Amino acid sequence: MCNPVTLTRHESYGLVTLFSPPVNALSQTVRSGLVEALDAALEDARVEWVLLQSGGRCFSAGADIKEFGKPPQAPVLPEVIAAIEDSPKPVVAWLHGVALGGGLELAMACHYRLAAPDARFGLPEVKLGLIPGAGGTQRLPRLVGLEAALELILSGEPIGADKALELGLVDGVADQGHTPEEARIAMAAELARQGVRPTRERTLAAASEAPLEWLAAQRESLALPASGDLSPLKAVEALEAAMTHPFTTALARERELFLECLASPQRQAKVEAFLARGRDSRSLNAGGDNTRGTTP
């Protein structure tokens, strides 16, 4: 089996390419490959910055659903994301197709993000009775603001590249039509010259003058559905942690809330329904490829 992640050096940058068809699901093999490729790029003195991209039809539709219900295998996605964000060399992500769930969380850990004009971005975890569990509730509001982050997380619906640029989720969008590789690299190199920019260190902005009161009001408006699905309320709690605790503490709290959702019977029922719908389907939808990818 070919390595799903490769590193090639081109002049002063290292090109890390993820290719694991059909939707570049973030399996253990892919996660390991990402860490190994990043380590190799950091050890190469000739590499000044890193461009992360994916082959195939999308950047990544999220976690590999085949790993659901199994013991986690190292490196887990939060470890991969931390390694990227901690890189002393700038990491720029080129995003095409979809970046959903864990795929978007991976992209948000990069220091800069560039998007193809038809790219779509989302955190659909609530559709499976979950919340983002690899920093999505912590990094997203630092990029787009508290209110927009909560709307994206609770709706679970993807947004297009232009909206992502307007919100600050991405740093640039390529021109319509085919973008030559040279143009993409030039755009990425310009961003990389600005240096490392960890997302976790960005200020968490809120449009409301009293953001905690605003969050409390949102919680009150989320009546517990008959299904007993707690994921929307857990999402609000994770964002409250982002507002009131240091990043590392809030990140740990997000993971606790994610695991609580993961253990719930409501989550299990939603995942089983998701699998049942996708058993005879190969289409890429808001939750990724129904047969391989999902969103956490």
Q: Is 79 a catalytic residue?
A: no
List the end-to-end C-alpha distance of the chain, in Å, as a whole number. 25
Topology (CATH level 3) of domain 1-286:
2-enoyl-CoA Hydratase; Chain A, domain 1 (3.90.226)
Model confidence at 283: pLDDT above 50: no
> Where is 49: in which H helix or E strand?
strand 49-54
The catalytic residue among 11, 36, 105, 190 is 105
In the chain, where the domains are located: 1-286
Task: Provide the 3-class DSSP secondary structure of residue 172.
Answer: strand
Model confidence at 285: pLDDT above 50: no
The catalytic residue among 43, 85, 125, 256 is 125
237-252, pLDDT tens digit by residue?
999 999 999 999 999 9
Q: CA-to-CA distance for 110 and 86, rounded, in angstroms?
A: 9
Percent over 90 (pLDDT), the chain: 74
pTM given for the model: 0.90
Q: Nearest-5° angle of CA 146, CA 59, CA 119?
A: 65
Q: Is 190 a catalytic residue?
A: no
Place of tokens 């969380």: 105
Q: Nearest-5° angle of CA 144, CA 152, CA 212?
A: 70
Q: CA-to-CA distance for 135 and 138, rounded, in angstroms?
A: 5
